[in-house]
Each structure stands twice: as C-alpha cells, then as structure tokens.
Amino acid sequence: MASLSSVPDIPESSGESDKDQRIAELEAENRRLRDIRDALIVRVESGSAHKPEPYAAFEHSVILAEQVRERTEALNLTMEELKASNKALMRAREEAETSRQRLNDAIESIADGFVLFDHNHCLIQTNSRFRSYWRHAGVPVPAAGTPIDKVKSKALSSGLVVEEHSHEDAEGTVFLLSNGRWVQMTERPTREGGLVVLYSDITDVKNSEMARRIKALEESERWIRVVTDHVPALIAYVGADLTVQFCNKVYQAWYGQPGQSPLGMRLDEVHEPEFYQRLLPQILEVMDGHSVTFEFDETGVRGEQRYMLRSYVPNVDDNGEVVGFFVLIRDITDRRKTALALEQAYDNLEKRVRERTAALTGLNAQLRQEISERAAVEARLREAKLEAERANLSKTKFLAAVSHDLLQPLNAARLFTSALQEQSFGPRAEGLVRSVSTSLDDVENLLGTLVDISKLDAGVIKPDVTAFDLRDLLNNIAREFRQMALAEGLRLDFVPSSAVVQSDSQLLARILRNFLTNAIRYTGQGRILLGVRRRHDHVLLQVWDTGPGIPEDKLTEIFQEFKRIRPSGSQADKGLGLGLAIVDKISRMLGHEVSVASTEGKGSVFSVRVPLGQLQPSPAATTDIQKVEVDHGMSGARVWVIDNDLAICEGMKTLLEGWDCRVVTAVSLPDLDAKVDIASAPVDLILADYHLDNDENGVDAVAQINGRRSQPAPVLMITANYTNELKQHIRELGYLLMNKPVKPLKLRSVLYHVFSKLQNQV
C-alpha cells in the first residue's frame, strides 16, 4: 500500500525562474550605466586642470551634458521596465500561491485518501484522510521523499493493512485496514511520469455485499433444509471439531433428546460412549480423507431397535484439508429382515435337499433326475435370492425391467374383452363386459403410469428428438380428448397449428395428454382449450381450463410424485398423483420448460415451451402408428400370430377372427413351422411379439420366416420395450410397431391400413 505524509510545497514553475534571471540582468545593466555616468562626470571635472580654452571647454561640457541626458533617459526607461517586471513578478507569485492553496484545498476536499509520487516514485504530497489511516493505527506517517516500495512494506509490517485482496478483473487492490474499514486502491500515472494513488472507502459496499451473501446462504440453507427434511433418511454435516453443524428432522428425531436438538453438540455427546467407540474408527478414516460406508445396529432414544446403513463422505477445502464430513444414514431394517428370512429359507432348503438326497441314494435314474431337478431348483432359488436383493436395492429399475411381464396378462385381457364387446350377449352381459373393459382401462392407466415413472427414473426411456409438424399430433390429441370431455359434460376447444418443432413427438404427446387428463378430471363445468402460442424461437403449447384453480403455495408441490391437490367437496379420483410428476421428468429429459399459472375459483393454464425446428427431407419410412384412415375391409385376411404367451395367442385369435380374419397362432418359430408351410403358405401379415422364450426375439424369428419365402410378408411388431434403439431398429427394417398393451381400435386401424395397401397393389 502506497502511503502518506505531509510534504513540502510544490516547486515554483520555470516561468518564475525566467523572471528572476531577467531582473538580475536589468540590475547589472543599471549598475554599468551608473559607472559610465560617474566616469564621465569625473572626466569633466578633472579636465579643468589642463586649462583648455573657454569655448572648447564649454563645447565639451554641452556634449557631455547631452550624453548624460541621453544616458539618464535610457536609465529611466530601464527603471520603468524593471518596476513593471517587479509588478508582474509579484502578481505571478500571488497567482502561484493562490493556485497552490487551491490545489491543497482540492486535495483536502477529496473524500478518498490521496497520495502523489514524483517520476522517481518518491512521496511528494498527501491529504489528511490518508494521514488519518496511519495515525489511527499509531504508525508514523511516511516522510516526503520516501519511495513507494518502502511505503507499502511499512504499511504491511506495521499492521496498518490487515488483509489484501486483488483480482485480475477488478479495477484495483482492496485492503482491510486495522480500523476495520475497507479501502480500494487505484493508481493513475501523471504526464511527468509520476503517480497518483487514491484510496476509496468501500466499507458500506463490502458490508452490503456481505449482507447479500449471508442472505443468499440463509436462503440456500432454507431450501436445503426443506429438501432434506422430506428425505426418508438421516442427513447431517459434522465439522472438523466433530460437532453437528447441520441435520434434518429425521436425524434430529432419531438422535435428539426430548426437548434438545443435536445441533452444536459433539458426536461423543450425541451418542452413548459405547456406541461412539464403535463409530470412532470410521470417523478417523473419513477425517483422513476416505469415504466410508458400513452397517450398524443401534437403538434410538425411544428404544427402537433398527439396522442402519451409514455413509461418511469427507468435505475437502481448496488446500486439500478435510474440514468436516457429510453423514447419510438409511434405515435398512426391513431389507435386513428380508435378507435374513431369505437366508434362513435357503438354509432350510439346503437342509431338506441334503436329507432328501441321503434318503434317495441308491434309487433308479428317474430319482437321480429328480435330484438333478431339485439342484436346478436350488440354483434358481439362489438366483431368485440375488434378484430379490438387487430388486430391493433398486425397485425402480426392477419395475422398468419387468414391464413386459406386467403388461402380458393385461394385454391378453384387453384382447378378450374387445372380442367380447363385438359379440351380442344381451344388455346385461354387454354392460358387464363394458364394466370389465372400464376396469381394465383403470388398471392399464395405473400400471402404465407406474411403469412409465419407473422407466423414467431408471433411464430406460431415451428421447428421440426430431423436427416434425405439430398439425397431426395436435389434431389426433384433440380428437381423442374431445369425446372424453363431452362424456364429462365439458367443451373442448382446439386451435390448430402447423408449426414445426424440435422434440420427441411421443414424449411431447404424453405431456399434453397428461395436461388434458388433469384438466378434464378437475374441471366440474365449463370448457377446456388446447392451443399454441408462437414466440421468436419457440412455441408455447398450452392447456387452459375453468376448474377450481390451484393455491399459489401448491404450484410447485403438484409436480411431486403422489401429490394431488383435491378441492374440498370434490369426489376422490383413481389417479396416483403421478401425471404431473411424469410431465416434470419428461420435460427435464427433453429440456422443455414447463410452467403453470392459476387463479383460485377461475382456472389454470399449463404450458410447455418447445423450440422451433426445420423439417429435413428424408425418404418415407415406417414409424409408430398414430392414425390411419379406414378404407377397406379385412374379410379373409391371413394373419400369423407369434407370441410366447398362450393367453395372448388365444385372445389375439379370438379378436382377429371376430374381424373375419384367418388366423394361425404359434408360441415359437418351430411351433409355426409345424402348423404351416412357411415357405409357400399364403400370408397377408405377420404379427409378432418382440420378446419370445429362450432369449429369442420376434425380429430374428420374422427374419427367418421371410428369408425362406420368395416374397417377404408385411410385419407388425408388438412390444413392451419403449427404447429408442429398438424403435430405430424396427424403422430400419421397414416394420410397423405397436406398444403393449395393444388397443384393439388402434390395431384394427393398422390392419385396415396394411390390407388396403395390399389390395391396391393387387
């Protein structure tokens, strides 16, 4: 820090030196003229000693008198010039003194500390504000002529400067002084090579900045607490001194004494001595910089015996020092009990197998085969045990993985009920069939929602982002939900749009369907509006309703899983509260912003922001079926159905035969080969399930079938696999694709589409 003391006045200007020199020359000239005058007078007076002639003497006197007069006039003029120069000099001195005083006043009037250095960077002048910094610290003010380096070193060594902060993007260096004030130093060079240094007091700015930071930290801590308090796990942060500096409500409820929080307490005060000694090795390890995960059984303050999985993660600062560690404790009592039960069951099974093996020793080959089968059962049980443990560790991934098996019986039931609905059984039976169909719809919606949320959490679903026209998507959705709205006594208005957007069409449609489903579910009367607002580089897809509205404090909560805001007096619905949670997950996956605005008593509007796109020319390819026009019948159409589930085969056969199709079903390729001549038998469509037994799949089976035929048959692939990789693979093969559970009306439209193309070709 450059610094500061009073110094001599500023030197006079070069103009004053020139005036002094001129005065000195004039005085020297004046003295010379006086010497000449005196010499002439002496000469005249001394000339009478020679006794010249009177006339000559008189003439000579006149000449001398004339010369004296001329010299005197010249001398008088010179004296006048000298007086004028003296007056100018006096005025210059007065002006210089006034300027010097004004400069001093100006420097003193500056609110900042001021320091002036010459071209050698030696101290020249300071103001009182700068000198006050030194006097307050009890340090002598640097004297005039002190180099800038010594001023800085003295400020640091004397304790005047407590802290120094500098940043390459900042205008100057910031200092914390011993008096608690913050100053910012800025330097400016002078034209003569000197340096002007200003010290601006920024204490108020620093305090305001600190207040903002504290407020931001408090707000951040509040949000962290809101989040952690709703997590079903014990969360805490322990400082380097082993004191609990943060904990959530679950941690406080488990370890806190009645009326006392564990915050601010040391771990040896929070836990019993014996339990703390058990934890100590892991605490020492995490304080050494290593993450630790271990299991302990323990007893809570209310006497509950639980089994806990603990994770300690070190918190390391910029210098690599451990300044504390994070604590995450999960209750795994139920998982532990399940594991012990499975282990006990396994031990009992092993014991029974040993006993039975000993009893069956010496029997025939059939009994040995039974023993082999039991060994296989044992291996499967071991595998089942491992699968159960893995599923218990990740229920979400488990649900996503078994979605095919979950949808199989539902798909079969859907096919059978659809076939029944096309039969005439009388009003009572038809009502029962419709009730079954409605119940299956509810089961399908609930199961589909659970599977979707699990697949989104497990990362199974990947977006397939392309540019597409909104026209068909919005038209189909409006047509689909207009009937649903009319059934509820509502009016659905729709504003079409032909904007081209960049998104995944199926996932975007899922967002809009969930918006419309909620709007119909919660709107008692009035109307619903589906429309699009164009913006500069994006569009807003919006769903408006005239429902009861949503309280402002619940606008964020509604996007959480299993959260439903039901107005007072309204009937309970069958939803799980996952619709908007799915919307939130899909929108995050796609990078589309979702927003909601609502007024209680008037209605709500849900919006999704989608970027505009540009269509790319591409060859026509077969994609997922959305909507096809029905132009021709299906009477006599020949369909081969391949599905490893007999119930699916029977249900599909019943449904298709009800549409006058001729159907051959098979559970595998060898089964189909035994029923028809694959190479030559006529067929109009192969309908195959993607998942078959023995790790086989429908794509390979269809490839073998068409490979043996001279003319490949059209293919409709049905699957519960929603991955983009499979979807793209089906597209590249030129097959049609439908996802389970199959909707009969959609299937019928697809078959009409396929068979009408075949008839046109003929």
- pLDDT at position 400: 45
> What pLDDT sits at residue 418?
64
Q: What is the DSSP letter of 47?
A: G
Residues 6 or more apart from 640 whose CB is under 8 A from it?
A: 663, 664, 665, 666, 672, 676, 683, 685, 686, 687, 705, 713
Residue 394 makes CB contacts below 8 A (sequence gap 6+) with: 458
In 3-state terms, what secondary structure has residue 595?
strand
User: So what's the pLDDT on residue 314?
Assistant: 92
Answer positive or negative: Cα dihedral of 157, 158, 162, 164.
negative
Give the pLDDT score at 507.
84
Amino acid at 413: A
Phi, psi of 224 (to 5 degrees): -60, -40
What is the rounded CA–CA span in Å between residue 448 and residue 509? 15
> For residue 135, how far is the Cα from the chain centroid?
51
Q: How far is CA 473 from the centre of its chain?
A: 30
Helix 333-359 / helix 365-393 crossing angle, nearest 10 deg = 170
How is residue 299 annotated by DSSP? E
Pick from 728, 660, 647, 635: nearest CA to 689? 647
Q: Which helix (H) or strand (E) holds 201?
A: strand 195-201
> How far apart are alpha carbons 162 and 180 in whole angstroms?
9
Provide, for the chain, the percentages of residues in helix, strand and coil under a 3-state DSSP scheme, each rounded to the nearest 5: 50, 20, 30
What's the Rg (C-alpha) of the chain? 50
Largest CA distance in the chain: 188
- Taking the C-alpha atoms of residue 727 and residue 123, their distance in angstroms, rounded to an integer, is 80
Could you tell me how many helices (H) and strands (E) the chain has, helices first?
21, 23
CATH class of residue range 462-611: alpha beta
The amino acid at residue 613 is G
Contact 250, 233 (CB under 8 A): yes
Burial (0-12, 13-18, 19+ Cβ within 10 Å), 385: middle
The confidence score (pLDDT) of residue 561 equals 55
Query: Tokens at residue 19, please?
Result: 């005036």
Q: Quickly name the fold that domain 232-331 has.
A: Beta-Lactamase (3.30.450)
Lateral strand order in the sheet of 527-534: 491-494, 527-534, 538-545, 603-611, 593-599
Contacts of 506 (CB under 8 A, 6+ apart): 464, 624
- Asked if residue 409 has a cis previous peptide bond (ω within 30° of 0), the answer is no
Are 594 and 718 in contact by the 8 Å Cβ rule? The answer is no
Helix, strand or coil for residue 1? coil
Phi, psi of 425 (to 5 degrees): -120, 0
The angle subtended at Cα 657 by Cα 651 and Cα 660, nearest 5°, is: 155
User: What per-residue confidence (pLDDT) applies to 651?
Assistant: 81
Run means of pLDDT, 10 residues per run, the chain, 762 residues: 40 55 79 76 59 63 77 80 80 77 77 85 86 84 87 85 76 82 86 85 81 75 70 86 87 78 87 88 91 84 79 88 90 81 80 74 68 78 70 52 58 62 61 59 57 60 84 86 85 89 87 87 87 90 88 71 54 55 82 87 90 73 38 74 85 83 89 88 89 84 89 87 77 84 77 76 56
Where does residue 404 rank: exposed (0-12), middle (13-18), buried (19+ CB within 10 A)? middle
Pairwise CA distance, residues 111 & 129, whole Å: 7
Q: Which residues sit opposite 387 in a β-bridge?
A: none
Alpha helix stretches (DSSP H) within 288-364: 333-359
The topology (CATH level 3) of 638-761 is Rossmann fold (3.40.50)
Q: Which residue has the tokens 């003029």?
A: 77
**Residue 564 pLDDT:** 57
What confidence score (pLDDT) does residue 285 get? 92
Alpha carbons 218 and 501: distance in angstroms, whole number: 41
Decide if 191 contacts 114 (C-beta within 8 A).
Answer: no
Q: Give the contacts of 443 (CB within 8 A, at least 6 positions apart).
A: 410
Helix (H, G, I), strand (E, B) or coil at 643: coil
Domain boundaries, the chain: 14-108, 232-331, 336-393, 462-611, 638-761
Integer Cα distance of 683 and 709 in angstroms: 10
Would you state the structure tokens that stand for residue 312, as one six-digit string? 């300690």
